[in-house]
Structure 1
Amino acid sequence: MNILVIGSGAVGIGLAASMLSQGADISIFARDKTAKAIKENGIKRCGLFTHYEFTSDEVNVYETYEEIPKDTFEYVFITSKTTANDDISKKLNTHRDILKEDFKIIIFQNGFGNDTAYLRFFDKAQVFSARVITGFTRPERHISEVTVYTEPLLIGSLQKQDPSELQPIADMITSSGIQCKLTDEVDKYLWAKMLYNCALNPLGAILDVNYGKLTENEYSKQLMDSIIDEIFDVIKASGYKTLWENSQEYKDIFYSKLVPDTYNHYSSTHQDIKRKIKTEIDSLTGKVIELGEANKVDVGTNKIIYNLIKSIESDF
């Protein structure tokens, strides 16, 4: 099994090590300092579950698509930030001769609708999406640390394609120590993650606080309530479903369980802004706004939050 991992952050390194541990041939597309670190040190997965370490001889690293061998990959794992999807999808299309005839793309990213960029060039039966709520961090450029585990990785299709061909991938990830399952309802689980991320990530970044602090202020709590209410309206109007019947049912578990369990966490959006790099707001709040406007749903609070993040980004 030959897999190309595009995106050499914490998730990409973690999944690459997981698949290597099960005998897959892994190539990682990386750049600059990260490519150098992997070429010198190999890769490592540590933290929760089994620890794995592989030498530089056991993993291929490519810095350009031109150097990748032709007719090689059965699977492509997209583990980059969502801001790279437009470029990655175009490059994969241009260099599709590196892919086997019956290849599959699996998108392991935040947000909703990230398959759209790839569906411009590839058939819907080739493009799948994963829900990842396992926590990965990258203490060094070649190391992925599993820090949090609450539920299995889930792989499915937003285009309602049968994911059963991906069972070997799910089984290998599970055998590496991280539970992974296939689902016919990946949209429900991605919307569940969207509700959590959209309510917390941008607001925590704007106010420069952790998740828990947002729930202790009546004004930020009002904003989160409005964001959640609007997203439920969008889900219903767009013909999607999630795991809760209504916004109040979700808010009950959000404030009593989900946020307390991650009280001290700072969002990836917060981290991006601190590093002065573009955030993934377009695939989070931006997607809510896109679907809201398409279905004539009031998403005024989400628009304000989106515009504030964009205003901050404009200085980067």
Structure 2
Amino acid sequence: MNILIIGSGSVGIGIGCSLLSQNADISFLASEKTASKMKKNGIKRTGLFTNYSFSPSEFSVYETYSQIPKESFDYVIVASKTTANKDISKRLDENRDILKDNFTIIICQNGFGNDKAYLKYFKASQVYCARISTGFTRSERNISEVTVYTEPILLGSLQGEDIRHLQPIADKITASGINCELTDELDKYLWAKMLYNCTLNPLGAILDVNYGKLTENEYSKDIMDNIIEEIFNVIDATPYTTLWDTADDYKNIFYSKLVPDTYNHYSSTHQDIKRKIKTEIDTLNGKVIELGEKYDVDVSTNRLIYKLIKAIESDF
């Protein structure tokens, strides 16, 4: 099993270590600074579950597509920020000779509809997505720390494709200590994660607090309630569904379990703002706004949160 991981941040290195621990042949496409660190010091997965450490001789790192041997990979795991999807999908198409005939792309990102950029160039039977509720952070360029675990990683298709060939990937990730399963209802689970991320990520970044603190203030709680209700209105207006019938059903589990289980966590949006890099807001609340406009649904709270993040980003 030869796998290329594009995006060597916390998720990419975390999943890469998981697969390396089960004897998969792993290569990374990384930025110059990250590649240099990985080549010099190897990579590690720390935190919750089994910790792993791999020397530079146990994996390959490339900085450009031109360095990659032809017909090398069965799988490509995209673990970059969603802001890079347009470029990555185009570059993969231009360099598809690095892929074997029956290759599979698995997109491991926040947000909904990230497969759209890849379906422009590749068949639906070649493009799959993951729902990741595990929290990864990167303390150093070559180290991924598992900080939060709530539910298994889920692999599936948003286009109704057969997913059975993804089982070997799921089995290896599970054997590494992080449960991973296949699902034919990935859209439901991705919208469940959208509800969670759209409600917590941008607001936590704007207010500079962890998830738990957001629930302890009547004003931030009111904002979150509005975000949740707007997203349910969007879901009701579209062909999509999720795991709860109503906004109130979701809010009950959100405030009683989901947030308490991740009370001390700071969102990836918060981390991006602190590092002064562009966030994934376009595939989170931005996607809600896009669908709201398409189906004539009021998403004014999501729009305000989106504009506040964009205003912060404008100084980067």
| TM-score using structure 2 length | 0.98
Deviations 1:121-177 (A, max 9, x none): 001111001010112122221111222222111000111111111111111111111
- Name which of structure 1's ranges 260-269 and 150-159 shifts more when overlaid on structure 2: 260-269
1:160 aligns with 2:160: yes
Measure the CA separation in 2 of the matches of 1:170 and 1:227: 33
3-state SS of paired residue (2:92): helix
Q: Give the gaps of 5 or more residues in structure 1.
A: none
* Displacement of 1:261: 1.9
Question: 1:133 maps to which residue?
Answer: 133
Question: 1:120 maps to which residue?
Answer: 120
Deviations 1:3-56 (A, max 9, x none): 000010111111111111111111000112210011111212222222222111
- Pairs within 5 Å for 1:88-107: 88-107=88-107
**Conserved 8 A contact 2:3-2:73:** yes
1:251 aligns with 2:251: yes
Measure the CA separation in 2 of the matches of 1:68 and 1:155: 26
Partner amino acid, structure 2, of 1:274: K
| Superposition RMSD in Å | 1.0
User: Among the aligned pairs, what percent are the same residue?
Assistant: 72
3-state SS of paired residue (1:111): coil
Question: 2:285 maps to which residue?
Answer: 285
Measure the CA separation in 1 of the matches of 2:295 and 2:164: 32
3-state SS of paired residue (1:177): coil
Question: 2:87 maps to which residue?
Answer: 87
Measure the CA separation in 1 of the matches of 2:8 and 2:236: 36
Question: 1:173 maps to which residue?
Answer: 173
**Conserved 8 A contact 2:148-2:265:** no
Question: 1:221 maps to which residue?
Answer: 221
* Displacement of 1:231: 0.4
Measure the CA separation in 1 of the matches of 2:175 and 2:268: 28
Partner amino acid, structure 2, of 1:249: D
3-state SS of paired residue (1:265): coil
Question: 2:236 maps to which residue?
Answer: 236
**Conserved 8 A contact 2:3-2:27:** yes
* Displacement of 1:219: 1.8
Measure the CA separation in 2 of the matches of 1:205 and 1:18: 29
Question: 2:39 maps to which residue?
Answer: 39
- Name which of structure 1's ranges 61-70 and 204-213 shifts more when overlaid on structure 2: 204-213
Measure the CA separation in 2 of the matches of 1:294 and 1:50: 45
Deviations 1:224-261 (A, max 9, x none): 11110110111121111111110000011111111122
**Conserved 8 A contact 2:85-2:117:** yes
Partner amino acid, structure 2, of 1:251: K
3-state SS of paired residue (2:145): strand
1:273 aligns with 2:273: yes
Question: 1:308 maps to which residue?
Answer: 308
- Name which of structure 1's ranges 251-260 and 241-250 shifts more when overlaid on structure 2: 251-260
Question: 1:146 maps to which residue?
Answer: 146
3-state SS of paired residue (2:8): coil
Deviations 1:286-314 (A, max 9, x none): 01111111111111111111111111111
Measure the CA separation in 2 of the matches of 1:21 and 1:171: 12
Measure the CA separation in 2 of the matches of 1:146 and 1:206: 24
3-state SS of paired residue (1:39): helix
Paired residues, what number? 316
| TM-score using structure 1 length | 0.98
3-state SS of paired residue (1:23): coil
Measure the CA separation in 2 of the matches of 1:231 and 1:84: 25
